[in-house]
Structure 1
Amino acid sequence: MQRDERVTSPHGSRTAQPSGAGLRQALASLKNNRQFRLLWVSNLFFFGGVWTQTLVLAWLAYETTGSPMLVAVFGAVRLSPLLLGPFAGVFADRHNRVRLLLFAGSWAVLAVGLVATLSSLDLLPYWVLLLGGLAIGLSQSPSQPARASLVFELVTRENLSNANALNSMAINMTQVIGPALGGAMISLVGAPSALWISTAWYAVSVMMLLPLRGHRQTIHARTGSAFAMVSSGLRSIASNPLASATLLITLAANTFLWPIYQSFMPVFAKESLNLDAAGLGWLLACSGFGGLIGSVIIASLGDFRFKGALFVMGTAIWGILWAGFALSHTIVWSYILMGAIGLMSAAFGVLQTTLVLMTTEPPLHGRALGLQELAIGIQPISSLALGVAAELLGIGATTFFSAALLVVAVLMIGTRGSRLVRYRGVETGATGVEPSTDGQRNVTA
């Protein structure tokens, strides 16, 4: 029988037992919670598949077409299922999240396996690659609200930052291994083999979720149709300045810079740095290694008090580093900058989800994370716009101006009106929450 390391407070809420600070705190959620440990290992293999196939498919798109614009079109198609985020959030609120993840993971195995088969048979022209990218996107993007909101159910609120940092560590570990492995496999044995590795990683991810099928999730009462639930969630979150500011910064980051990383790194590698596929893999691995270090640092902080400040200022510094990378034409300097970019991306990647969960009520978590997914879903549109700009101005100039716009947007959103930069993650009241009638969480900065 699993030992439950959590205790019940006098108010009936679960609280974490005191744990040591520093590096011991970094692994707290993994050591004390078997269910979260299974989810974490599943995430490790799931995102291993994501990073491997992301590099391989982007490389195939650029190698097939030689056009940054067509690479942008491919990226837009692959990421377009992100636009389903609000409805995926409703599903996460209304249905069992573990079952949703099992279905999405199984779909990923089938989708990537089919693309790998077509690539092995040399039957993967550009239009088929577009369809394959769409199928893979449908397996990945709509499951994210369920994957993120499940964390809140498996750990205590005090361990939420730690658990999200550990999830970010899993992503960044695979971001080190996946691109490096994918690039090396392209160079040594070809793209189809790399895609088959992605398929195997997705399959292991599904297997790790199977023991969680008995997890009893609280299914919140339905309040009407999916459209009605999306509408009510929008109204509640729009009236919440902290949650709104967090989502607006997420929107800005995914408008100006994440499409560069998701779609245009092969263009950077070839046009600015003259790197082959293996070199591109190592460039992305530097970012993953930096992100891994950043995630370990945040995980070791535990339930720290300057969450809003780290989110806002870390994202702004991340944008400044991207501007420096855009101006670099030296391989070693670019590797160093990409490592620093990964380091600062942890502040954004870990805390965007933590802040969304902390500033909204549990009945809204799925829909709030669905809106986060929608904010990420701007990437297909912004990817096309950035592709046009890259054709006209070059990828370096496009990235520099995008980074500058992000820094301005983040500082304006985070420091004016919303008080996000001063948010500490401290709740009010005996139970930590002063619930409101519309499902909004009342918090103090």
Structure 2
Amino acid sequence: MMEQPYFGRRLKELRRARRLSQAALAGEEISTGYLSRLESGARQPTERVVTYLVKKLAVERSAFDVPPSGGSLAQALSLATSSDSDETVERLIIALDQAEDEDLLLRWQALWIISRHWQRRGEHAEERAALEELVRIADELALPELQCRAQSQLARLLRATGEVTRAIDMATHAYQLATQGKLSVSDVGTALQTLVAAEAEAGRLPDARAHVDELVTLVENGGSEVMRTEALWSAATVRFRQGDHERAREFLERAMNELDSRVDLTLWVRLRLATASLCLQTEPPLTDLGRAYLQEVEGALALVGTSVMRQELLMLQAYLAFHEGRYEDARAAHDELNCDDMRMTYRDRIRLSILDSQLLLLEGDEERGLSRLRELGEQARQASNIDLAADIWRILAGALETSRQRRSAAEG
């Protein structure tokens, strides 16, 4: 019998590496519900199912074998610290699961590495579980630095998954811990950056503007190159939400010019994705600029691309095709994104659904397109994502007006 939860994590990893949906892997042999429970670790696989999955995935049975833990949690932590490969982190996860009465600081260090692993892979549920425990341990240890870092990271994830109100509360507390405890520029800056992002997402733009200006001043006087770049990115986001698209693009271009790709190639890629996104959301869309940034990204993704970044690129390529009137290409790119494996943020998921609704309207399915836009607007409103909800209502109003004009022309 294969061991859970390792079997489930490995199964999901192998399925995604082959770009298979749960339905495609399940086929006629097993239900998608059962496959989902296998991947979550809630069910043990039977011998028949293991045989089927091995054949379907074209792997040896040993692909599901639990790697040796490498001894104690301290040993596994040492290995993971010196090498951030997936294998060493998997061993660390197993060692942590098996550890009993370990030192809280050791557990905190292990969970920190594990949470970053899940973040890179876009595994929001797993990352959240690790971050929730990090917050609990940090509070038990009563160490302001660890409390601030854990709460900042959890607030970032909460914002990304649509829990904006709680994200603001947690980021505010992290920021208070950092300032009251006179923590490092890095800790204060990270908490501020997280707070700005959450406030901007909630439409609290005056607060976000005041905090981002504070952030830019802070890091210019003592932050690292990466922190300065991320602060400029945050400033661009706030300016864009305030409607100052030109100033937002200036901040992003400055950030891109100041960051050497050799310092942080992943951030270099993410900046260009963000700038392309801004160009395509501008009215009218700056399609030439957006295309140029996306072309820059494609080559770099072969070196540092994660599933999350590849999905972001594909979504932006779909939007580029839409704005260029290549609707069939836009639909093809949209449909290529595997909904079972979606790892993007809440905002990007909603934007992808908006695109689907707009394509439905163009394809003549007016009832579904309009209904979907109404649902998305209400969903964003209930999530306190005010500016996103406003964008959806604006698109819906335009679609309703187009529909009215079409009916009037037909009746006339």
Q: Same fold (TM over 0.5)?
A: no
Shorter-chain TM range is: under 0.3
Query: Greater relative contact order (Cα 8 A, min sep 6): structure 1 or 2?
Result: 1
Structure with max Cα Rg: 2
TM (norm. structure 2) is: 0.26
